[in-house]
Amino acid sequence: MKRDKLRDFYRRIFVSRPFEVYISLAVFTTIAILFGFTFKWFFLEANWEVVSANLPLYLFGIFPDDQRWRPATWLVILICLSIVTIWGPRWWWLRKILPLTWIGVVPLGIFLLSGGLGILPVASRSWGGLTLTIFLMMCSSLIAFPLGVILAIARQSELPIVKYLSAIYIEVIRAIPLIAVLFFGQLLIPLFLPLGLEINRVSRAIFAFSLFVAAYVAEDIRGGLQSIPISQEEAAKSLGLSKLQITWLILVPQALIIALPALGNQAIGLLQNTTLMAILGLVELLGISQSLLANPAFIGSYIEVYLWLAFVYWFVCTFMALLSRHLEKTMSFSKPMLD
């Protein structure tokens, strides 16, 4: 009986579809050979000393050795806060203060990195590595998000001047490459400043990123506003709510829920776009890698360095995607309002 079943299986697969079988065998064989070569190179031939010997540089840049506890503390707080957010706090009071805690992490990072109030000041040119990458992303997001909300509401305004000015800003920024905006922030802004006033490179980068991302955030939120049925606005008017109350209490919260996936993508894209700052002299993750590859001791270790860099970005972006997905689930209770 078993022999008959095997014979039928052989006829159905190897006789009736020989071409598909041979193609599948060739593909699996190629994958196995490539996997074998990759495994051999990864564990036996690759020189991972370029990564293991420079982990502090990848994490903190050239931050002073005796002060590295400060960026390390900030990164640990971020990791703990992310884990608590993804798992979901059990206590109601912790759920209430969690959004404020996320907002407070940014000024805490500024204080720990820059110093002051009894902590040794450290110049922004000493910041670098993963710390600087995440700092640029979080500060830019904190500024770009409310600016994008204001631009989206302004573009929906009934006042022609407000509507057209916001539309012009959004369309102009979206038509300019990000690298051009960053060059403007790094090279042209100092020319317009009065004598004696100087803004460091990190602040100029945050300013440029915020202006650029705010235009895309505005379009995401505008899409959320347009997807809300007009009947909700009419019902709110019948209850006697003002235009301002309708916008901020009814329309904007629902638009944010709808736009959450797109906003999460914007945050991940912003993190990846921080690599452009390596062109302009900031030693974030990519800048650290380029400086290490210029070291005669690590010349030729391009594959190891960029594989490590890809893994770090994949890990951080995956963590951010999990945070965004959790936020979507926790706020999904408001979605029935859209029906």
209 and 291 co-located in one domain? yes
63 and 38 co-located in one domain? no
Asked if 106 and 139 touch (Cβ cutoff 8 Å), the reply is: yes
d(CA 327, CA 261): 9
289 and 321 co-located in one domain? yes
Confidence (pLDDT) at 89:
67
Confidence (pLDDT) at 4:
61
95 and 13 co-located in one domain? no
Confidence (pLDDT) at 16:
59
What is the number of structural domains in the chain? 2
d(CA 181, CA 119): 34
- Cα atoms found within 13 Å of the Cα of residue 280, Cβ hemisphere only: 22
One DSSP character per residue, 147-200 reads HHHHHHHHHT-S-HHHHHHHHHHHHHHHHS-HHHHHHIIIIIHHHHSPTT----
SS3 content of the chain, % helix, strand, coil (to 5): 80, 0, 15
28 and 55 co-located in one domain? no
pTM of the model: 0.86
144 and 118 co-located in one domain? yes
d(CA 158, CA 311): 48
In percent, the amount of the chain with pLDDT more than 70 equals 90
130 and 16 co-located in one domain? no
Across the chain, what does the average pLDDT equal?
86
Is the pLDDT reported for residue 122 higher than 80? yes
234 and 293 co-located in one domain? yes
249 and 275 co-located in one domain? yes
Give every CB contact of residue 213 below 8 A, 6+ residues apart in sequence. 140, 141, 144, 148, 266, 270
Confidence (pLDDT) at 230:
87
274 and 176 co-located in one domain? yes
d(CA 136, CA 217): 17
Containing domain of residue 15, as a range? 1-45
- Cα atoms found within 13 Å of the Cα of residue 134, Cβ hemisphere only: 27
260 and 135 co-located in one domain? yes
Confidence (pLDDT) at 181:
92
Confidence (pLDDT) at 5:
63
The mean per-residue pLDDT over the stretch 182-203 comes to 83
Q: For 141-164, what is each residue's pLDDT tens digit?
A: 999 999 999 999 999 888 899 999
Confidence (pLDDT) at 2:
56
Q: For 106-117, what is each residue's pLDDT tens digit?
A: 999 999 999 877
Give every CB contact of residue 119 below 8 A, 6+ residues apart in sequence. 70, 111, 112
Q: Which ranges in 41-159 belong to alpha helices (H)?
A: 49-52, 55-60, 69-87, 92-114, 129-155
The mean per-residue pLDDT over the stretch 131-141 comes to 94
Confidence (pLDDT) at 332:
64
Is the pLDDT reported for residue 49 higher than 60? yes
Confidence (pLDDT) at 337:
45
- Coil vs helix vs strand at 311: helix
d(CA 257, CA 267): 15
In percent, the amount of the chain with pLDDT more than 90 equals 41
Is the pLDDT reported for residue 1 higher than 60? no
One DSSP character per residue, 125-137 reads GG--HHHHHHHHH
The mean per-residue pLDDT over the stretch 118-143 comes to 91
Q: For 15-33, what is each residue's pLDDT tens digit?
A: 556 667 678 778 889 999 9
- Coil vs helix vs strand at 48: coil
Q: 89 is written with which tokens?
A: 């706090």
Q: Which of 3-12, 27-36, 41-50, 237-246 has the lowest mean pLDDT?
A: 3-12
Is the pLDDT reported for residue 339 higher than 90? no
Is the pLDDT reported for residue 322 higher than 50? yes
CATH of the domain at 260: 1.10.3720.10
pLDDT bucket at 40, cuts 50 / 70 / 90:
confident
67 and 173 co-located in one domain? yes
Confidence (pLDDT) at 115:
84
